[in-house]
């Protein structure tokens, strides 16, 4: 039995709680919040004790910590957890800099604990099938990817918490907060780019960070990818992921396959299919518009990694790949705050 505590009690903590409670070999024993005046209210809502982070780290009956706090707090909290001998499952982005991500990785390795990153779309069966098809060269040589994220987050969303839309605690806008899962799929499918050009701006949202961005990524084999994203496209539209190669293409809208066509189907290692269901906006307009299945699968892998003494499938090294791409997009777009 792996006993968990959740650090942070916002929306994403509910997904981690459900993921823990789904598995018989996991137990949620405590949660943590920074405001002692809310401990009783949170205890009543989540059904377990609520206490300070230091008190949680001191508990012998906590084996692992789920970090669900604002992104700018992830690195230090993960390092403290590792130093206390706790395994760490951290929400996206794992950190706001590559240096901090590396510090987290080093701390977990030095203390002999596991570090997992909740980039849960990799765990979804749909995207695993697409990954297998690409790895099997079903599309031939990849030449182009087109990523579109027409999301919506209004002023009320940002006004719910002071940290939202800030460089210090959110670390970025539509890419770092909303779009990192899709960027993670891009690097998982296509690999790490060798060059990036980008533009970004803050046009309509009352935030420090970008609400619109466009980037072009170039790969070692000459393939290209475009990434366009915004939080200003009310009411929010399904993201689109398109991958094309010399033997065919796949077009995904939301969580559904709209087109999967091969020039020569005899080369297929994964049978092409088209989804029967209609694409929905999902989390494009509402942060709660994602299913818990991905978090449940990530939790299963994390528990198995602890039991089998192996790295989680999405460990720190994998978790920082999308982070590196986003940070380079920001650098090339010249929107990072001056240090």
Q: What pLDDT does 279 receive?
A: 82
Residue 109, in any domain of the structure: yes
Of 206, 217, 196, 141, nearest in space to 173 by CA: 206
Co-location of 110 and 158 in the same domain: no
* Total residue count of the chain as it appears in this document: 339
Mark the ranges of the chain whose per-residue pLDDT is less than 50: none
Residue 339, in any domain of the structure: no
Residue 303, in any domain of the structure: yes
Q: What is the DSSP letter of 183?
A: H
Neighbouring C-beta atoms of residue 284, cutoff 10 Å: 22
Please give the residue range of the domain that contains residue 236: 122-286+322-333
Co-location of 159 and 245 in the same domain: yes
Residue 117, in any domain of the structure: yes
Q: What pLDDT does 161 receive?
A: 85
Residue 23, in any domain of the structure: yes
Co-location of 200 and 56 in the same domain: no
Number of domains in the chain: 2
Q: What pLDDT does 339 receive?
A: 65
Co-location of 79 and 131 in the same domain: no
The enclosing domain of 307 has a CATH number of 3.40.50.720
Place of tokens 């020039």: 263
Measured on CA atoms in the order 157, 179, 204, 70, is the torsion positive or negative?
positive
Co-location of 140 and 272 in the same domain: yes
Co-location of 259 and 112 in the same domain: no
Q: What pLDDT does 280 receive?
A: 83
Residue 99, in any domain of the structure: yes
Tell me the CB-side half-sphere exposure of residue 43, using CA atoms within 13 A: 10
Q: Are strands 248-253 and 256-262 parallel, antiparallel or unpaired?
A: antiparallel
Co-location of 247 and 306 in the same domain: no
Tell me the CB-side half-sphere exposure of residue 177, using CA atoms within 13 A: 32
Give all strands of the β-sheet with 87-91 in edge-to-edge order.
49-51, 26-32, 2-7, 64-67, 87-91, 115-118
CA 149 to chain CA centroid, nearest Å = 15
Is 155 exposed, middle or buried, given 0-12, 13-18 or 19+ CB atoms closer than 10 A?
Answer: exposed
Q: What pLDDT does 338 receive?
A: 73
Residue 145, in any domain of the structure: yes
Co-location of 113 and 137 in the same domain: no
Co-location of 181 and 214 in the same domain: yes
d(CA 319, CA 251): 25
d(CA 117, CA 108): 13
d(CA 115, CA 86): 10
Co-location of 62 and 185 in the same domain: no
Co-location of 108 and 145 in the same domain: no
Q: What pLDDT does 281 receive?
A: 76
Co-location of 303 and 281 in the same domain: no
d(CA 317, CA 305): 15
Q: What pLDDT does 313 receive?
A: 97
Is 307 exposed, middle or buried, given 0-12, 13-18 or 19+ CB atoms closer than 10 A?
Answer: exposed
Residue 338, in any domain of the structure: no
The enclosing domain of 240 has a CATH number of 3.30.360.10
Element (H, E) at 130: helix 125-135
């Amino acid at each position: 039995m792996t006993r968990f505590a959740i650090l942070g009690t916002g929306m994403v903590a509910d997904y981690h709680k459900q993921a823990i409670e789904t598995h018989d070999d996991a137990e949620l024993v405590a949660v943590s919040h920074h405001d002692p005046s809310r401990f009783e209210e949170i205890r009543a809502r989540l059904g377990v004790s609520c206490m300070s982070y230091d008190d949680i780290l001191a508990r012998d009956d906590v084996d692992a910590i789920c970090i669900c706090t604002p992104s700018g707090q992830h690195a230090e909290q993960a390092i403290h957890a590792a130093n206390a001998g706790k395994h760490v499952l951290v929400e996206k982005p794992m950190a706001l800099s590559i240096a901090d991500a590396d510090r987290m990785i080093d701390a977990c390795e030095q203390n002999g604990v596991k570090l997992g990153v909740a980039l849960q779309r990799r765990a979804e069966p749909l995207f695993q099938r697409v990954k297998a098809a690409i790895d099997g060269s079903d599309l031939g040589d990849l030449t182009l990817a087109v990523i579109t994220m027409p999301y919506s987050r209004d002023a009320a969303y940002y006004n719910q918490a002071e940290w939202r839309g800030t460089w210090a605690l959110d670390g970025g806008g539509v890419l770092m907060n909303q779009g990192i899962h899709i960027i993670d799929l891009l690097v998982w499918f296509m690999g790490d780019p060798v060059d990036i050009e980008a533009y970004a701006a803050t046009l309509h949202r009352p935030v420090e960070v970008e609400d619109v961005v466009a980037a072009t990524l170039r790969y070692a084999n000459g393939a290209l990818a475009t990434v366009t994203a915004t939080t200003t496209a009310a009411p929010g539209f399904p993201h689109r992921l398109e991958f094309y190669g010399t033997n065919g293409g796949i077009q995904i809208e939301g969580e559904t396959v709209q087109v999967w066509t091969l020039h020569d189907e005899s080369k297929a290692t994964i049978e092409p299919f088209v989804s029967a269901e209609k694409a929905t906006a999902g989390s494009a307009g509402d942060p709660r518009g994602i299913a818990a299945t991905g978090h449940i699968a990530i939790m299963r892998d994390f528990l198995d990694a602890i039991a089998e003494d192996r790295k989680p499938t999405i460990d720190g090294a994998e978790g920082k790949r999308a982070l590196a791409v986003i940070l380079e997009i920001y650098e090339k777009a010249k929107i990072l705050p001056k240090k």
